Chain A
Amino acid sequence: MSSITLQNITKRFGEKTALNDLSLTIQDQEFFVLLGPTGAGKTTTLRVIAGLEKQDTGDVLFDGTSMTGAVPAERDVAFVFQQYSLYPNMSVFDNLAFPLRSPLRKLPKGEIERRVKTAAETLRITHLLARKTAKLSGGEMQRVSIGRAIVREPRVYLMDEPLSNLDAKLREALRIELVHLQKTQGSTTVFVTHDQIEALTMAQRIAVLDEGHILQIGTPHEIYDAPATTFVATLVGTPRINLMQASRQDGRIFVKDSSVRLPPPTGIDLPADFLLGVRPEDVRPTNSGEFSGKVALTEPLGVETIVHIRSGENILTSLVPGITPISVGEEVRFDIVRERLHYFHPTGKRIVAASV
């Protein structure tokens, strides 16, 4: 397995700049997730790493060695495509054996069979080996295409939204399988997704991309608890973070069009106007709460309930555990967890504590 370094990668498609001076390093044996909305440049990044797309400027390094001149076959990567990309007219066994039968590899027949069997057992598709790929379900197809990646011992696994075409149940099951696989194999994996839950649950580190730029790189914990911009803050976490316009007056924080007043944080220099971010789980309805509002909507999800509380012109979403007795139209009191507030410049950038 290898580490991957991208140095100042820029890639244009005609007029459009897909990747703009992108740099990042993926550690050996790391599960690295590229997260971003459609068109952010996640897939392009992956294709540049694989060599399927050639960057206009910048360098791709594997273990410190430049791969820029190398074709995909020489880079020794395994790629799982979003569209399964199984070879039609071939059985599942032949699909799995395909990368091993390459004339560049020359593996003995017994070894090929052993590896295919192991991969099939890992992904629980042994019973499908004799079947033609056209007769498989979506989940089975994606297992086979993941299998085709793991029969090899590539330097890196590149996965392009492999789970996005699957139904929710399968997605969850495969998510766990993939993480388990990565752990047991100790493989370097770059995983592209637009699904923040996939990113948070699977990644060791996440890079958040938008319009060809990296907005933030960090552990899921860092991304969630200290989002670098309002974009990252709203992209990660469901229900979405509450973002409210706020201002600093007379040493207190005033939330615009609302009765919420908060003491200013210590150690952070706030401008006169800024954006205040509060995660829904940090809005806590309680009888002795400091603030009050009217319940506009409740969404019981079983494990938790999303309560929309109207406070002045603002609607705050609050996440409470279990099914709550709070009902629509009711006046509620709530608290806001002060230690977990997020402050952003009106431009969207996070305001960090001045390092003393």
Chain B
Amino acid sequence: MSSYSQPARRRHLGDKRLIQMFIIPTVVLLILMNVFPLIYSLYLSFTEYSAINPTPPQWVGLDNYKKVLSDNLYWHNFAVTGRYALISVSLQMIVGFGLAMLLKEKFKGSGLLTTLILVPMMLSPAVVGAFWKNIFNPSFGIFDQFLGYSDPNTAPEWLGDPDLALWAVVIVDVWMWSPFVMLLSLAGLSAIPDYLYEAAAIDRASAWFQFRRITLPQVMPLLLIAVLFRTIEAFKQFDLVMGLTGGGPSLLQGTQAVNVTETVSVKLFRLAMPPQAQTGLSSAMAYVVLVIIIAISNLYIRALNKVREG
């Protein structure tokens, strides 16, 4: 084959063909892995069906949704998730933004410090869960020792005490994800031009006034993005809970025993996986979560647009 015949052959691949060659595999994968399961699970959410049972899906209409939305047992999971998301995201915002304000001014070693603070974010949640489980251990964990409890018998049992367990998950989540909020806040803070502060200094604005009128409005869009990301993540909270408490401990609420850290995702996992394998019911619950997350995201995006417009 002569050396110049190759470019000629390549010309047979027109732009259109080339585009198709790149796009078609992606589209096929998307349909197989995302679109089909999405639609199929929507169908399953209206049926009585178990994936490990040979019986075909039985159409039951809105029964699954009625159950998820009216049964106290499921409401409990939503309440846990909501409370968890609210507390955890709020604390992350405060800690993360606070850290960013402290690290805003460059000093010797501030780059290294920033990098070190970011380390928790880079760890796997399963690993984080595993070692925090040890840190929280009342007999040998350092957390209680750090708080000043020397006697393992009186030291709080963070993961076993129904009053503390959710807080324990919150503490770990805040430890792990405040750096993310810090990173976004730092990006926002460093984008504020100096001359705004200089103008304010000349206009005799107080420090509080400068913070409220210049700093906060300027970082607000990024803060809202951080809130959005962290809220969605909090609503999906699964791995940390599984690693730390497995959803427990359980507490008697009226006549029913409930698991105090069992988030919606953990509950979903239990419902969907064997031995329960209630595929229809868990699909309905997943759709309820999806609708909630979409609704919250929309609220945030609306707020974000409002802030951006000024």
Contacts and interface: CB of A to CB of B under 8 A. Distances in A.
Contact of B196 (A79, A87, A148): A87
Interface stretch (B64-72, B88-96, B203-211, B258-266): B203-211
A72 B3 CA distance: 74
Interface string B188-202: 000001011011111
A298 B204 CA distance: 54
B185 to A, nearest CB: 17
B195 A81 contact: yes
A88 B199 contact: no
A102 B202 contact: no
Contact of B199 (A81, A89, A103): A81
Interface stretch (B39-47, B79-87, B212-220): B212-220
B195 A85 contact: yes
B310 to A, nearest CB: 5
A104 B217 contact: no
A78 interface: yes
A73 B204 contact: yes
A268 interface: no
Given A81-B195, A134-B310, A87 B202 contact: no
Interface string A68-83: 0001110001110101
B201 A72 contact: yes
Given A73-B201, A78-B202, A104-B204, A88 B217 contact: yes
A132 B310 contact: yes
Contacts of B196: 85, 87
Interface string A98-140: 1100111100000000000000000000000000101000000
A73 B201 CA distance: 6
A87 B213 CA distance: 8
A145 to B, nearest CB: 8
A99 B206 CA distance: 11
A337 interface: no
Contacts of A50: 202
A26 interface: no
Contacts of B201: 52, 71-73
Contacts of A83: 193, 195
A196 B217 CA distance: 39
B212 to A, nearest CB: 11
Contact of B206 (A79, A85, A103, A148): A103
B203 A102 contact: yes
A148 B198 contact: no
Interface residues of B, number: 18
A90 interface: yes
Contacts, number: 57
Interface centre among B198, B199, B205, B209 (most CB of A within 10 A): B199
A98 B205 contact: yes
A87 B204 CA distance: 14
A73 B196 CA distance: 14
A83 B199 CA distance: 11
A81 B194 CA distance: 11
Given A88-B310, A89-B310, A77 B213 contact: no
Contacts of A99: 202-204
A72 B193 CA distance: 18
A148 B196 CA distance: 13
A72 B210 CA distance: 15
Contacts of A72: 198, 201-202
Interface string A46-75: 000010100000000000000000011100
Interface in A141-186: 148
B204 A85 contact: no
B308 to A, nearest CB: 10
B227 to A, nearest CB: 18
Contacts of B193: 83, 85
Contacts of B205: 98, 102
Contacts of A85: 193, 195-196, 198-199
A134 B307 CA distance: 12
A26 to B, nearest CB: 18
Interface in A261-304: none
Most buried by B among A50, A99, A148: A99
Contact of B198 (A52, A78, A102, A134): A52
Contacts of B202: 50, 52, 72-73, 77-79, 99
Contacts of A88: 217-218, 310
B306 to A, nearest CB: 11
A85 B200 CA distance: 9
Contacts of B199: 79, 81, 85, 87, 148
Contacts of B214: 87
A336 B289 CA distance: 90
A180 B93 CA distance: 51
15 contacts: A52-B201, A52-B202, A72-B198, A72-B201, A73-B201, A73-B202, A79-B202, A81-B198, A83-B193, A83-B195, A85-B199, A88-B217, A88-B218, A88-B310, A102-B204
Given A88-B310, A98-B205, 16 more contacts: A52-B198, A52-B201, A71-B201, A72-B201, A72-B202, A73-B202, A83-B193, A83-B195, A87-B200, A88-B217, A98-B213, A99-B202, A102-B204, A102-B205, A103-B209, A134-B310
State the 5 A-B residue pairs at the shortest beta-carbon distance, nearest first: A102-B204, A99-B203, A73-B204, A89-B217, A85-B199
